[in-house]
Structure 1
């Protein structure tokens, strides 16, 4: 059975608030990234020291204006700023809280990151934790296929440097920081953990 620590629960509660604020019907990596920044804590502070431009305001603005979609719209001859300006006059309505449902991209990212983190812990490259912490959420939002990763790139924030800060914190002072695995190799126990992640009501 997976046991989550307080930092994990705090981040998911903050992610729920951010998803509600943005009117999302389900939780994606962008909402979890906002939740990580809003919840704060020692790991978030270490990340912020590494990448000072990574703030709630910067990420929220990028989500609201669809910074990751702007290049695609430009190729179609659509001005994203004009679209946003035209939509700006609509009255705001209260948004319902999303059901405890994750987007497929977030489920894949969380599964992949949990497998890779487990690989590093099993090999002794990183120490094991008795509980699942917010570190796995940081590593998941930084997976290359996530919307959070695309948003970071769109606002010139370096996901690789942010991941390095997370791994440095996990390794501990003076320890060698291992490279992040390129591929996730899931064994039997890890597949069980992935299924538990998928079933867990981590947003409630």
Structure 2
């Protein structure tokens, strides 16, 4: 499915992974996808979000607050590292060797997995793009997909930032109509 994303959409998805790792989360949730959209600054979604006063730093802060309030702690992969350590695998040493051989940051462990809600949002991206007559998925379609998943934390983050999901949806659709097929 990744091959159907535009370059901007791909950058946003990769940025969501980076945001999850930076925040010390062992998963990529809808809230991380939102952060990824904001990190892809020149994407349609980022422009619309900024027009609604949703910026990356504030969204990052609210993501941390919302997750902590729901009992999610930033474990930074420690449970997986502990499990490997219990069978004699030193992840820190693997990291050092990878950094030496391939450059700093080449090895990230663990790679966070998508939550069911984030997977659902990405699946809904397809339907949103198709409804607009597109065969490739851009950041605007990812944002529309995110807005269809009430179970994730993204709507809580947007509410904390006083961003109306309906208004965001309307703004994205208006922008998409201006851009054409």
Q: Calculate the TM-score normalised by the size of structure 2.
A: 0.67
CA distance in 1, matches of 2:156, 2:35: 14
Give the distance between the partners of 1:98 and 1:135, measured in 2 at CA. 29
Count of aligned pairs: 142
Mapped to 1, the partners of 2:134 and 2:171 lie a distance apart of 18
Q: Distance in 2 between matches of 1:112 and 1:42?
A: 19
1:138 aligns with 2:134: no
Structure 1: segments with no counterpart, 5+ residues: 74-95, 121-125, 176-204
Deviation at 1:162? 1.3
Equivalent residue for 2:55? 55
Instruction: Give 5+ residue unaligned stretches, structure 2.
Output: 72-107
Does residue 1:129 correspond to 2:134, yes or no?
A: yes
Q: More helix per residue: 1 or 2?
A: 2
Query: Is the contact between residue 50 and residue 161 of structure 1 (CA under 8 Å) also seen in structure 2?
Result: no
Aligned-pair CA distance for 1:97? 4.8
Alpha-carbon RMSD across the aligned residues, in angstroms, is 2.6
Shift of 1:12: 1.4
Partner of 1:107: 119
Contact 1:67–1:154 (CA<8 Å) still a contact in 2? no
**Alignment-derived partner of residue 89 in structure 1:** none
Query: What is the 5 A alignment of 1:1-204?
Result: 2-48=3-49, 50-51=51-52, 53-66=53-66, 69=69, 97-99=109-111, 101-118=113-130, 120=131, 126=132, 128-143=133-148, 144-172=150-178
